[in-house]
Chain A
Amino acid sequence: MRPPIVLRYVGLVLLLNAFFLLISCVISGFNSDSAFFPLLYTFLISALFGVFPLIFIPPTTTITNKEGFTIVILSWLLSCLVGVIPYIMWGGEFTFTNAWFESVSGFTTTGSSILTNIEALPLGLLFWRSATHWIGGIGIIIFVLAVLPHMGKPGMILYRTEMSSLAVDNFRYRSQKTMQILLVIYVGLTFVETISLLFCGMSLFDAVTHSFATIATGGFSPKNLSIGYYNSAAVEIVIIVFMILSGIHFGLLFAALTGKISELWKSATVRYYLMALTGGVIAVMLSIRGSQLYSWAKALRYAAFQVISIGTSTGFATIDSSIWPPFTQLVMIFFTLQCACAGSTSGGIKVDRIVLFWKAIVKKIKKMQQPAAVIKIKMDTVALEDDVVEVNILFISFYIGIVFLSALILTALGVDILSAFSGSAATMGNVGPGFGMVGSMSNFSQIPTLGKWVLTATMLLGRLEIFGLIIFFSAKSWR
């Protein structure tokens, strides 16, 4: 591995951060708020650290897998570190631990916050907070769709097999245009959502920051009451639509945008994703209506927003779901664990793995009935090898194990069991809010310091797909 090459490309990521810091700084300057200097200085550091390797290190045309992977992991960690600087320099509620939590939560598109009064933050800092989501979202797309598929491990095969054959034809991973296509979809969705929210009466600042958070399936809102602040059905509908879209594989979105909309429905994963969300909304609606909390219309409105927000790992809120019946909370925790499709900005176990998991169970039952039968598991038209299925089950077990371990540590630190488990699942799945003291209208400020570090570790583990980190630290796995 050539460390200077890694530095050169990490420098590019720092420049991307610097660009958004500059915009935040300009916003801060226009509003004459107290975040101007913290943002300006962080911009300066980020830009200088980004430019220097570009000037000093000569460019190269080839990057090895290991270098590519190291670039991604280091970019993520360094971005989180850069993200800490404006927060900690500004002060307020930001201790180093809190600033690290907020920054990691932003870049991993988790959306969990330690802030008790978000609206006390200056506009420039609020913009930077939302921008971390958007930058993180780009990182995920590039990592998942451009880096992981090249790693060649069975666990990564999912990222290549989940698309329908037509989408694969249209969307050639190894083509040089891949990045451009991904970015066009990402930027395009953000732009269209911003315009839609403007039409719904939101201010430009709020529309942009909410679009950043929606497309990256993040969940940071500049308002204490999140989307509940607007109390607007139109705003909620627009955000619901874009949350659902952001939870679909970007390759499939590309196929749909190029005129093959039927491809979306042909994908078993997307079918399950949409049906699961619909089922979840109906179950939650019936439950909260049954407990006489709201009228039918309100029950549908709240259930649709909350379930889709959690089910796509976004984490926006319109109401405090912590007061909902236990059945509802369990349904929501299921969606916190499952989340949306692979190849999107969503976190969690992913719908694809759940579908594969159920197919593996069905195969096992059939095998027990007919031991001599040769049964292959297929995802759409692609037959999957046994080691892919095995890695999938291992991933799910590992995932649940980490959530359990994290919850165990939190309970040892004195956090109640509901908050500990839901908080761990929400951070591991990059969802954002949990239940109890970390509910949709609460925050993570009451979690002990060590607990916050544990949760940031789970955020990074969840974001880098566990196996990604294992491959990174396992030299033998490199081709």
Chain B
Amino acid sequence: MGLRAKMLLGFLILAIMLLVAGVWSIYELTTAGSSVQKLLNDNYRSINAGKMMVEALEREDSGILLLLSGKWKQGRSIIETGDELFQKGFTIAQSNVTIPGEKASVDEIEAKYKAYKDLWIKPIVDTSKEGNLGWYFQEVHRAFQDVKLSVENLITLNDQIMYRTATDLKNRAHRAIMPGIVAILAALIFTVLFTFLIHYYVVSPIIRMIKGIQHFMETGDLPDVQVETHDELFDLVSSIQRLVGQVRTAGALQ
């Protein structure tokens, strides 16, 4: 391989190392950016929806207690507001099914909420249920706890995924930095190696050749200069040796 090709290869290797590291860092950073967006879209929305549903359920529970104590108007008003809030939260959660297991969790909430709603949708005031704490604790409160637990499970599921995504983000940030560090170190080592080889196989033979020519000019005798590589430098040394030979022959003829 010629000297030009060897040098080109050296610089090409440096360029490849830096280029790949750069591309990789950009890729990792871009992925990290989309992970943050994903985290906000997928998990944070569901967690907020879950919190909304829990808040609604607690309001509904207070409303039921008011109905039990005979306060129909206040009770129904609180329950209706709670139901609206719950439906709002549930719609968000239903339209934001993005992680494994979330669909089943949402379906479970829907079924349990339906069972819970069936208990308080029917009249309570002026019926046998009014003031019936036994009925409340046996049926209503249990159903309320059931839905609340399902909603909390949905929140926990999203929390876990959010934690995992955050850890992944940390790793991605690490992976975005590392190629740069490794590339810089590798490029430095490679530069030292490249410089050493250039010195050993290019600069040193040139220096030896210069000294040889100076020696020839002073004494008329050219020492043997060895070039291990078969490149342009080898051709140059051979040409100089041939030239010196011709000069000697011409001198001898004169």
Q: Are these two chains actual partners, yes or no?
A: yes
Q: Which A residues are within 8 Å of any B CB, using their own CB?
A: 3-4, 7, 34, 37-38, 41, 44-45, 48-49, 52-53, 55-58, 85, 88-92
- The reply to whether B13 and A56 form a contact with Cβ atoms under 8 Å apart is no
- Rounded to whole angstroms, the CA-CA distance of A3 and B204 in the bound complex is 14
Shortest beta-carbon contacts, A-B, top 8: A91-B174, A89-B178, A48-B13, A91-B171, A56-B197, A58-B228, A45-B186, A37-B24
Known: A44-B17, A52-B10. 13 other contacts (CB 8 A): A3-B196, A4-B201, A37-B27, A41-B179, A48-B13, A49-B190, A56-B6, A56-B9, A56-B10, A88-B182, A90-B175, A91-B175, A92-B171
- Rounded to whole angstroms, the CA-CA distance of A58 and B234 in the bound complex is 13
Q: Does B16 make an interface contact (CB < 8 A)?
A: yes
Contacts A/B (CB < 8 Å), 13 sampled: A7-B193, A37-B24, A37-B28, A37-B179, A41-B179, A41-B182, A44-B17, A49-B193, A53-B197, A89-B175, A89-B178, A91-B174, A91-B178
| Residues of B104-146 contacting chain A, CB below 8 A | none
For A88, the chain B residues whose CB sits under 8 A away are: 178, 182
- The reply to whether A41 and B20 form a contact with Cβ atoms under 8 Å apart is yes
Given contacts A34-B171, A45-B186, A91-B175, contact A4 B17 (CB under 8 A): no
- The reply to whether A85 and B193 form a contact with Cβ atoms under 8 Å apart is no
**Nearest-CB distance from A311 to chain B (Å)?**
40
Per-residue interface assignment for chain B, residues 193 to 232, with 1 indicating a CB less than 8 Å from any chain A CB and 0 otherwise: 1101100110000000000000000000000000011100
For B17, the chain A residues whose CB sits under 8 A away are: 44-45, 48
Q: Does B32 make an interface contact (CB < 8 A)?
A: no
**Nearest-CB distance from A114 to chain B (Å)?**
17
- The reply to whether B201 and A37 form a contact with Cβ atoms under 8 Å apart is no
Question: Using a Cβ cutoff of 8 Å, how many contacts connect chains A and B?
Answer: 69
- Rounded to whole angstroms, the CA-CA distance of A92 and B168 in the bound complex is 10
For A41, the chain B residues whose CB sits under 8 A away are: 20-21, 24, 179, 182
Per-residue interface assignment for chain B, residues 5 to 25, with 1 indicating a CB less than 8 Å from any chain A CB and 0 otherwise: 010011001001100110010
- Rounded to whole angstroms, the CA-CA distance of A326 and B174 in the bound complex is 44
- The reply to whether B197 and A57 form a contact with Cβ atoms under 8 Å apart is yes
Q: Does B250 make an interface contact (CB < 8 A)?
A: no
- Rounded to whole angstroms, the CA-CA distance of A48 and B10 in the bound complex is 9
For A38, the chain B residues whose CB sits under 8 A away are: 175, 178
- Rounded to whole angstroms, the CA-CA distance of A4 and B16 in the bound complex is 23
- Rounded to whole angstroms, the CA-CA distance of A92 and B196 in the bound complex is 37
For A56, the chain B residues whose CB sits under 8 A away are: 6, 9-10, 197, 201
- The reply to whether B179 and A89 form a contact with Cβ atoms under 8 Å apart is yes
Given contacts A4-B197, A4-B200, A55-B1, contact A45 B182 (CB under 8 A): yes
- Rounded to whole angstroms, the CA-CA distance of A4 and B174 in the bound complex is 36
For A53, the chain B residues whose CB sits under 8 A away are: 193, 197
For A58, the chain B residues whose CB sits under 8 A away are: 228-230
For B28, the chain A residues whose CB sits under 8 A away are: 37
- The reply to whether B9 and A89 form a contact with Cβ atoms under 8 Å apart is no
**Nearest-CB distance from A38 to chain B (Å)?**
7
For A3, the chain B residues whose CB sits under 8 A away are: 196, 200
- Rounded to whole angstroms, the CA-CA distance of A421 and B21 in the bound complex is 43
The closest CB in chain A to the CB of B228 belongs to A58
Given contacts A52-B9, A85-B182, A89-B179, contact A44 B171 (CB under 8 A): no
- Rounded to whole angstroms, the CA-CA distance of A91 and B177 in the bound complex is 11
**Nearest-CB distance from B53 to chain A (Å)?**
34
- The reply to whether A52 and B200 form a contact with Cβ atoms under 8 Å apart is no
**Nearest-CB distance from A22 to chain B (Å)?**
15
Given contacts A41-B21, A52-B10, contact A89 B182 (CB under 8 A): yes
- Rounded to whole angstroms, the CA-CA distance of A7 and B189 in the bound complex is 13
The closest CB in chain B to the CB of A52 belongs to B13
- Rounded to whole angstroms, the CA-CA distance of A48 and B9 in the bound complex is 10
- The reply to whether B229 and A44 form a contact with Cβ atoms under 8 Å apart is no
- Rounded to whole angstroms, the CA-CA distance of A331 and B135 in the bound complex is 71
- The contact of B9 among A7, A37, A55, A92, by CB within 8 Å, is A55
